[in-house]
Amino acid sequence: MEVVEAVNNPPKRRGIAPVKAEFIINKQNSQENCDSVFGDEEVGDDSKNKEPSKKKSRVTRKRGRNKEQAKTTFAEPIRLCYKISLSEQCDNEFCKFSHDLQAYLNVKGEDLGDRCTNFEKFGKCRFGYRCRYLKAHLSPDGKLIVNEGLASSGIFVEEKNNQSIQIQKQLRTHSYKFPRADAYLAEMQQEIEKQRELEKANRLAKLNPDDKLNKPSEDDDVANDQLDTNEANEDFTLKNEEEFVENFDSNNKNINARKRIKLENDDFKNKEKEEFEEETELKSRNDLNVEEFIDTPDVPLRTREKKKITFKNKLYLAPLTTVGNLPFRRICKEFGADITCGEMAMATNLLQGQQSEWALLKRHINEDCFGVQICGAKAEHLVKCAEMLNNEIEADFIDVNLGCPIDLVFNKGGGSKLLMHDGRLGKILKGMNKIMDIPVTVKLRTGILDNLPLAAKLVPKFQSWGVELATLHGRSRQQRYTKLADWKYISEIALNTSGMNFFGNGDVLGYEDYYHHIENDHVDGVMIGRGALIKPWIFDEIKSKRHYDISSKERFDILKKFCDYGMEHWGSDTIGINQTRRFLCEWMSFLYRYIPVGLLEVLPQRINERPPAFRGRDELETLMASPNSKDWVKISEMLLGTAPDSFVFVPKHASNSYEG
């Protein structure tokens, strides 16, 4: 690792990274591959197999992620019972898995190597005969080897927040209890009824709506946030909002979105009331008994004492869907990340006990400040999910996703869609804050449309709703990851925010970017996302205020460590190996964008500058810079052995912020 000083000469071409001339190669054969992954927004559209259209359709434009990603399963031909794989006796007479060990070994395939990371670390491999590095813990007579010195601790994985079978069963049978969430929802229902009576009395008496004699008190948070006329005047509604947002032409800069928005207080009031009634309706299920709470004393549900976290000036690794997995977070922790957060989990799936969703909550023991991010649309789901997580997992904070731009989430009312409904959002955040022992944080975008930002209206309300930290990504939903993040807008909001931690997020790829925002944009800290994916040692660079020229061998060692961590997390059997391979390739779809410091004419590298086709200082460095996904699979084979014939990788993420 070589330390390099920054050079401040201006780049030669706008939007193109200034690579030294001696390293640039003919890009005729590489441009198509580059565009197929990151260059355009139509990634994953099978364009290679079709005649090129003269005009690109705005309707079919695919943004943000590959929607035609290949679905690959990694099932083994024979599924061996895990008891048999550990040389134990299976007592389950209804076991669906094979108990013929020899038949399994005959079709298993050759070992990938003679070093098992699980056996080396824990003294016992929890995958036994299924391990693809079986020879590392197999005696000459075919028996499994156990290192009693290491295995005596009984610890075979360094992870927390594993879902118990009992909790999963309670969630799936709807027998899990939510006493505090139910009490809060009952309080909200009572306030709705109270407000209805007041409105009815005012209508009958033909009172002026501004008459303060019959208005609810200012301390009545629930009534004020949702139904107070003055508050409603501050809100907005999009007429036929789903149709408008989906059909909005992102390329037509002359369209004034504000002309399509109409403030209709009466319609808005009725619409919001209907939505609120729907989300807070107390269903007659076994796990929700309204009567139990109606007769409780008039003392409101008290907010719990919160665990204190110092967020200011901490290096925060962003929650990253798919690529922000536990092995990647371990890599970033070792390079100096202070705060980590799990991948976005859907609240409804967690409440149903879905094992795949609960896996996103797992925490490594080295993650000393760790949060989980949840996403949802209704107060009932998010508040109940918060109570469950507060009781069942170890986390230092819970983050609410208010920025997810994908249609699947947005059209159901979650993610960035909640920015349009601050009444509902206020109830969600206040309810979560009341029932949890740990802080509530939020991550949001500037708004839905480019020219109609909403964050400036919402951020001042977050503190009164109990939010400990708000992180603003300087892009709208419409913008996704194109163009640069609007740090001027972030700075304006940060300047007027006090009493609450406020972080900015977007386009940080070096220590100069980080300290520029800290010193000039009034933020308490910076969340780092794609910058950490492109070069995870960015945290070390920030703390040391230096550029590191990482060699290809050092970068390869980082990938090797990721694979070791992946086999600890996903497993060293066939399924776990190929899961590790898949997530390694997902990470490579960002890593290839890194330009070695020694190849640049001007430092630092900018996240919006497209790298020209270049060769590295050795063959491995050249291979790591390839935009071809087949080369990423080739790198995975150098670490994990030959990929199965059925393994076809198409990157899930297609985020793009290049200029030009």
E-strand spans in 92-178? 159-160
SS3 of 543-586: the string is HHCCEEECCHHHHHHHHHHHHHHHHHHCCCCHHHHHHHHHHHHH
- Tokens describing residue 520: 């000039």
**Which residue type, as a one-letter code, is found at position 83?**
K
4-9, Cβ contacts within 8 angstroms, sequence gap of 24 or more:
4/546, 4/547, 4/548, 4/549, 4/597, 4/598, 4/603, 5/547, 5/603, 6/512, 6/547, 6/603, 6/604, 7/601, 7/602, 7/603, 8/602, 8/603, 9/601, 9/602
Helices (H), 220-315: 221-227, 229-234, 241-247, 265-280, 291-294
- At residue 184, φ and ψ (nearest 5 deg) are -65, -45
- Catalytic residue (one of 34, 332, 385, 404): 404
- Tokens describing residue 494: 């940060």
- Tokens describing residue 655: 């985020």
| Dihedral sign for Cα atoms in the order 651, 655, 657, 660 | positive
CA–CA distance, 197 with 65 (Å, rounded to integer): 48
- Tokens describing residue 490: 């972030």
Gyration radius (Cα) of the chain, Å: 27
Q: For residue 640, give the nearest of 581, 586, 598 by alpha carbon.
A: 581
**Terminal CA-CA length for the chain:** 33
CB 54 within 8 A of CB 72: no
**Which residue type, as a one-letter code, is found at position 142?**
G
Cross-strand bridge partners of residue 333: none
Task: Specify the DSSP element, H or E, that contains 428.
Answer: helix 422-435
CB 612 within 8 A of CB 19: yes
Rounded to whole angstroms, what are the CA distances from 13 to 16, 595, 612?
6, 16, 11
CA–CA distance, 218 with 602 (Å, rounded to integer): 58
**Which residue type, as a one-letter code, is found at position 358?**
W
Burial pattern 21-60, b for ≥16 Cβ within 10 A else e, equals eebeeeeeebeebbbbbbbbbbbbbebeeeeeeeeeeeee
Query: In the chain, what's the furthest Cα-to-Cα distance?
Result: 93
Cβ-based burial of 158 (10 A; exposed 0-12, middle 13-18, buried ≥19)? middle
CA–CA distance, 485 with 507 (Å, rounded to integer): 6
Q: For residue 598, give the nearest of 633, 644, 552 by alpha carbon.
A: 552
Q: For residue 122, give the nearest of 145, 101, 138 by alpha carbon.
A: 145
404 is an active site residue: yes
Q: Which residues are catalytic?
A: 404
